[in-house]
Amino acid sequence: MNPRARLRLPALFLAGLLAGCQPAATDHFQGYIEGEPVLVAAQQNGQLTSLAVRRGDTVAADAPLFSQDSATEAAAVNQASAQLAQARAQQANLASGKRPPEIAVIEAQLHDAQARRALSADQLARQQALVAKGFVSVESLDEVRTQLARDDAAIAQMQAQLASARLPGRRDERAAAQAQVAASQAALAQNAIKFEQKSQRAPVAGQVQDVFYRAGEWAAPGQPVVSILPPENIKVRFFVPETALGALRTGQAVDVQCDSCAAPLSATIRFISATAEYTPPVLYSEKNRHRLVYLVEAWPQPKDAAQLHPGQPVSVRLHTARQ
């Protein structure tokens, strides 16, 4: 059965009953109380692990209502958090270049190449002096010059590697790392929402009208678990004849009297039906027009609504009738 129907079945019975027995007076009308409950549903599949409320409890807004098993969602949040940390570390690594120990290795290799080059330069100077004195042939200089050229090339290579190591990653690599961080943040936010949806809180303050599940049962997404009736959702429904319809308007105040009310309660008309709510088996003629009745809905003040209960019969009197 639709959970809302539990509050409306008595109302439907009273609607037919009251519509057929309106008093002759045009300032007094019979009606009944109806409530529009707020149905709080599960947003994820899962087994109910706890229910914090029972039928008849009064709850404040944002009070905990029920929880579902969230082990899977908690694991997903932890995984997404770790992936975000990894993506941020990769982004920081590309932004700062190589690590200091790696740079130190390249610097040591550069110093070694510079030392070898200095040695080759000394050997070339000695060979040139020996050639000038005629102790060695000119051909012996070629090998020393070749070694010096190799040492110069090695120094240039090490200097280029050191400069590259001190630079951050390439632009496209940094952009890819930034995109990965954004994707990881979105994944973490999505999993955090799913985790939070496993615990539902009261969207409004009011009285718990019904609890449709017990702990241990499986609740599907969109299936109501708890029904809450806030005071501002309690209204008076009454029926007026066609002859009195022109005297009513939205925003008009009415008095509501019930058997348990110490004094009349004030309510405000918010809705007047445009069509006949209840039509006896008669022809639509001027002679029978007075037998048509129209639905009117009025809302009491929330502070007064606590005295009223869905299905309760009431009488309604127009303020203007007393003036």
Name which of 140-154, 217-231, 285-299 the model is least confident about: 285-299
pLDDT given at position 24:
47
Question: So what's the pLDDT on residue 36?
Answer: 95
Rounded to whole angstroms, how far apart are CA atoms 209 and 230? 10
pLDDT at 25 > cutoff 70? no
pLDDT at 112: 86
Higher pLDDT, 204 or 169: 204
Structural domains in the chain, CATH included, are 5-68+208-322 (2.40.30.170), 78-190 (1.10.287.470)
Is pLDDT of 97 > 90? no
- 39-70, pLDDT tens digit by residue? 999 999 999 999 999 999 999 999 999 999 99
Closest Cα to residue 161, out of 203, 211, 107? 107
- The DSSP code for 46 is E
Overall average pLDDT of the 281-287 stretch:
48
Q: Which residue has the higher pLDDT, 216 or 101?
A: 216
Contacts of 65 (CB under 8 A, 6+ apart): 40, 51, 52, 53, 59, 200, 201, 202, 225, 226
Of 268-272, 279-283, 304-308, the range with the highest mean pLDDT is 268-272
The answer for residues whose C-beta is within 8 angstroms of residue 144's C-beta and 6 or more apart is: 120, 123, 124, 127
- What percentage of residues in the chain have a pLDDT greater than 90? 47
Higher-scoring residue by pLDDT: 64, 105: 64
User: Confidence class of residue 110 from pLDDT cuts 50, 70 and 90?
Assistant: confident
Asked if the model's pLDDT at residue 275 lies above 70, the reply is yes
pLDDT at 20 over 50: no
pLDDT band of residue 291 (cuts 50, 70, 90) is: low
Average pLDDT of the chain to the nearest whole number: 83
Among the ranges 11-25, 74-88, 145-159, which has the highest mean pLDDT value?
Answer: 74-88
Cα 191 → chain centroid = 11
pLDDT at 22 over 70: no
Work out the pLDDT band at 127, boundaries 50, 70, 90. Answer: confident
Q: What is the DSSP string of 100-127?
A: HHHHHHHHHHHHHHHHHHHHHHHHHHHH
pLDDT of 232 above 70: yes
Residue 91 scores a pLDDT above 90: no
Asked if the model's pLDDT at residue 75 lies above 80, the reply is: yes
Q: CB burial class (10 A; 0-12, 13-18, 19+) of residue 273?
A: middle
Distance CA 113, CA 152 (A): 8
Q: How far apart, in whole angstroms, are the C-alpha atoms of residue 263 and residue 261?
A: 5
Residue 85: predicted pLDDT? 95
Residue 276 CB neighbours (<10 A): 18
Q: Is the pLDDT of residue 1 over 90?
A: no
Residue 17 has pLDDT above 50, yes or no: no
- Span 202-224, mean pLDDT? 96
Single-letter residue type at 115: A
Dump pLDDT digits (tens) for 143-202: 888 888 888 888 888 888 878 777 665 677 778 888 999 999 999 999 999 999 999 999
